[in-house]
Structure 1
Amino acid sequence: MSQPTQPPLLLADVQKRVAQELERIAPVIDELGERFEAAGEQLALVGGPVRDAMLGRLQNDLDFTTSAHPDVTERLLKGWADAVWDLGRDFGTIGARKGEWQIEITTYRSEVYDATSRKPDVEYGDSLVGDLRRRDFTVNSMALTVPGRVLEDPYGGILDLAGRVLRTPGTPEESFSDDPLRMMRAARFSAQLGFEVAPEVVAAMTAMADRITIISAERVRDELVKLVLAPSPRRGLALLVETGLASYVLPELPALALERDEHHRHKDVYEHTLIVLEQSIELEQQRGHAPDFVSRFAALMHDVGKPRTRKFQDDGTVTFHHHDVVGAKLTRKRMKELRFSNDEIDAVADLVELHLRFHGYGAGEWTDSAVRRYVRDAGDQLERLHILTRADCTTRNKRKADRLRRTYDDLEARIARLSEEEELASIRPDLDGVQIMEILGIGPGRDVGAAYRFLLELRLDEGPKSPDEARDALLAWWAARD
């Protein structure tokens, strides 16, 4: 699926949106500007909030830049803000809250990476224009001085915003040398805003892709999460692959572009994956869910085991046996390297490993026992598994697609019926450990665990039993062990 090109913005519309947003935030920005002005300091709303005001999407987070050093900023905020805190004094940033507004104020600064550094050297700057030049893209290099509300746009950000283009204030090589993470931010903003990335920026990203390796895994992870949660992640992911950045931050993705054999005996796995991601986002919205990283990343990673498992058969077919298991292992490895939490790693890897399970359902031949196991194995990822499994159908054969959809509808209906009857979400044996020890006359140990597992399997196979039925089954099993 190609990404739709959005029409340019009209400057008149931009000006109208800004006027509306400024009226909404006027009490905060004007009061704050007056406090700094009275102290002989400069203050300007800057970056994302200015850009988002022009797009009509300003949130409650306000970023400012100032001539004041952090100690002065902190003093000026106290007595005015509801709360003040140190967000990063070494980087010149003080945070505050005023009513519903979250505020960050950072001293004019410049920051430069050397060839091997993972952290910037920070120096305070002495002008607003100099501060704006160090920013990543021209659409983020605009400022609104307060309290006078004068727009400062020395690098043509408003024209680039109107044209929906991402450019850098200086040369892209200079910008990406200062902070290589900006290359990923280009992909992220493209996905978030639907903007095109200027050709010279793409060229610099391609030439300097290996520079991303000096950035910490945590910062790379955070940008990747924002990209995946964007309205059009395909746009940003395709840019990462095109420029070679993906080979460093998510190498499993470009690896999906398998070399096609001359007879085209298998799908383009890379293209299939991007379609599955898009379809999972559509289902996420249709089913009333907020943007969900775990669900989307599982869609992105669900077939990463295919390159390792591809086999050409004598009859001309291609197989990918066990790519679900291999893919889950690769997913765990990649997410650990990107410093994701254990809970996130477990959730995504489990979904990757389970994504083929439904295809054993056939036309509904599963027993109730098999349905219970499907629910048990999915655990709290069941709804995400529903979305991933449905999204994984990318066939152009309408009849086949309709059949798969109806079959999964049937499975979900059976799960709902059994859940209502048996509380599937909390399946456990009909007897607990204390009851098992009491009935068998034994103390804590391995035998209790074995008995518990037996009763759980019995519950999955045959559904819930009465206490007497469970007791009789347990005693029969115990007697048969001797």
Structure 2
Amino acid sequence: MSSPSVTSQTTRQSTPPASRRAAPGPDPDELQRSQENAVVQMLDVPDVADELAARFAARGHRLYLVGGSVRDALLRGSGGSDREPGDLDFTTDARPEQILAAVRGWADAVWDTGIAFGTVGLRRGDRILEVTTFRADTYDGASRNPEVRFGDDIGGDLVRRDFTVNAMAVELTGDERRFVDPHGGLAALAQGVLDTPDVPERSFSDDPLRMLRAARFVSQLGFTPAERVAAAMTAMAGELSRITAERVQAEFSKLVLGTYPRRAVELLCDTGLAGQVVPEVPAMQLETDEHMQHKDVYTHSLVVMEQAIERETDGPDLTLRLAALLHDIGKPATRRKEPDGRVSFHHHEVVGAKMTRKRLRALKYPKALIDDVTQLVYLHLRFHGYGKGEWTDSAVRRYVTDAGPLLDRLHRLVRSDCTTRNRRRAAALQRNYDGLEDRIAELRRQEELDAIRPDLDGNAIMELLGIGPGPAVGKAYKYLLALRMEEGPLGPELAEAELRAWAAENL
């Protein structure tokens, strides 16, 4: 409660002289309009968007630049993102057939594969544009298939979008551009917060993939989910099972390829969504690794992924990042406590490779990527023991041959797998790997390691042994290849002598 003296003073000076009165504050509505005008001026709207808007305006329709196009333009304008401009998304009161009429003769190409959902795609020059009729869909709650209903106003369209930062629009068909932000997307963008225009439970029920998309935006843009969004993701994680594996995989790949994938993976694990996508990752929690240097294998794997990203040279590498994240998923199944109290994970690379293949198949990844990630997981421990000096040239050749075109990625993965806090040990591991790479380089100069083959090909084998095509040729070829691995290049004469000696005993 205020003191009497303060109250008295306030009363006596409640009407100060005009010269001392504070200037009236700005009108809130006027201030908001001023801010919105400034936002519109920030936007670098391509000429092609204005051309399209003129065609819609001439036909009495409204056209809005909307969604990610506006969000990313604002981020670029404020210096908050270096994301390259992508496709342009628009929404309109025009119905699909009216959209087609408006772009006919102007677009270089038109496709209507999404016209049942009100979407017309088109190309003008080198820009891809997508125009969609206002939507006011309803969902049955059991699948992702909506009952498509077209809306009549921008407000109804924006409220059904996934996040407030994607629920901003700029009208292009009025006398002047108008910024539309009924759900506070601009403020959320400035604060880096992900929230939903509608209550998150309803939004995620309409499309459960939005929960995974939230984690993707955490990775790509560094955003943080609002508390109510994270709570809904946790409560509704099981709803993701309604979504096809292909769509889940597409979002997960974008998440892994983002700028902050560790944050996103942690969000997936904290909310339980990882159990629907990659349950092997949260299963690594609380599993102490063999070096006793990390709280758990889970944390170690996240650090390895971050270190692998630091070693990328040609942009984000999905194969390398997946291998880094999954390389130790075989540890929980192989965890053993030894008599001396240490924890071991014998053959976890073998078990982990099988688990990796199974998980990536379930997510419908392409076979080539599955094979590559699985092989990296399988090979990631091969290097250990090299520093003791027992590796022969034959072992180096096998290392290179087994890695094949994955050798550079394997180098990065193995180096990243060193997360010990013991600086001396870490330095020793890096020196040992430097030594291995030096030996590989030297053998490559001498022996064409990247294409190791026997000294005799199949035709030469058949001619020398006087046999035709068949299993015997394959056996002879494998023998010469193994010999090549052990001894290096033999030359034709010695190879022929070795082959004759082998054939005398085996054919």
- TM over 0.5, shorter chain: yes
Unmatched 5+ stretches in structure 2: 1-32, 77-82
The answer to whether structure 1 residue 220 and structure 2 residue 248 are counterparts is yes
Q: Aligned pair in 2 of structure 1 residues 321, 60: CA closer, same or farther (>3 Å)?
A: same
Matched residue type, 2:362: E
Matched residue type, 2:394: S
Local SS of the residue matching 1:219:
helix
Unmatched 5+ stretches in structure 1: 1-10
Matched residue type, 1:476: A
Q: 1:136 touches 1:169 (CA, 8 Å); kept in 2?
A: yes
Q: From 435, 444, 448, give the equivalent of 2:473.
A: 448
Deviation of 1:257 after TM superposition, in Å, equals 0.3
Q: Deviations over 1:374-433 (max 9, x none)?
A: 011111111111111111000001111111111111111221222232221122222111
Matched residue type, 1:298: A
Distance in 1 of aligned mates of 2:466 and 2:445: 35
Distance in 2 of aligned mates of 1:348 and 1:12: 52
Which residue of 1 is the match for residue 142 of structure 2? 116
Q: From 280, 295, 298, give the equivalent of 1:252.
A: 280
Q: From 44, 47, 64, give the equivalent of 1:44.
A: 64
The answer to whether structure 1 residue 64 and structure 2 residue 59 are counterparts is no
Distance in 1 of aligned mates of 2:265 and 2:34: 32
Q: Deviations over 1:269-322 (max 9, x none)?
A: 0100100010000011xxx22101111000010000001010111211101011
Q: 1:49 touches 1:58 (CA, 8 Å); kept in 2?
A: no
The answer to whether structure 1 residue 54 and structure 2 residue 71 are counterparts is no
Local SS of the residue matching 2:340:
coil
4+ aligned runs moved over 4 Å, structure 1: 11-18, 264-267
The answer to whether structure 1 residue 177 and structure 2 residue 215 are counterparts is no
The answer to whether structure 1 residue 280 and structure 2 residue 308 are counterparts is yes
Q: 1:266 touches 1:318 (CA, 8 Å); kept in 2?
A: no
Distance in 2 of aligned mates of 1:364 and 1:283: 26
The answer to whether structure 1 residue 325 and structure 2 residue 353 are counterparts is no
Matched residue type, 1:422: E
Q: From 114, 118, 133, give the equivalent of 2:159.
A: 133
Distance in 2 of aligned mates of 1:454 and 1:358: 25
Q: Aligned pair in 2 of structure 1 residues 408, 265: CA closer, same or farther (>3 Å)?
A: closer
Which residue of 2 is the match for residue 271 of structure 1? 299
Local SS of the residue matching 2:383:
helix
Which residue of 2 is the match for residue 480 of structure 1? 505
Matched residue type, 1:400: R
The answer to whether structure 1 residue 302 and structure 2 residue 327 are counterparts is yes
- Mapping of 1:80-479 within 5 angstroms? 80-147=106-173, 148-258=176-286, 267-284=295-312, 288-479=313-504
Q: 1:265 touches 1:318 (CA, 8 Å); kept in 2?
A: no
**Higher Rg:** 2
Q: Aligned pair in 2 of structure 1 residues 16, 226: CA closer, same or farther (>3 Å)?
A: farther
Q: Deviations over 1:59-108 (max 9, x none)?
A: 13111112222222223223212222224122222212222311111121
Deviation of 1:204 after TM superposition, in Å, equals 0.6
Distance in 1 of aligned mates of 2:262 and 2:226: 18
Q: Deviations over 1:25-53 (max 9, x none)?
A: 43111111000111122111111110001
Which residue of 1 is the match for residue 7 of structure 2? none
Q: Which deviates more, 11-20 or 40-49?
A: 11-20
Q: Deviations over 1:154-209 (max 9, x none)?
A: 10000000111100001011110110111111111011111111001001111111
Matched residue type, 2:129: I
TM-score (norm. length: structure 1): 0.92
- Over aligned residue pairs, what C-alpha RMSD do you find? 2.2
How many residue pairs align between the two structures? Answer: 466
Identity %: 57
Deviation of 1:20 after TM superposition, in Å, equals 5.4
Local SS of the residue matching 2:130:
strand
Deviation of 1:122 after TM superposition, in Å, equals 2.3
Which residue of 2 is the match for residue 4 of structure 1? none
TM-score (norm. length: structure 2): 0.88
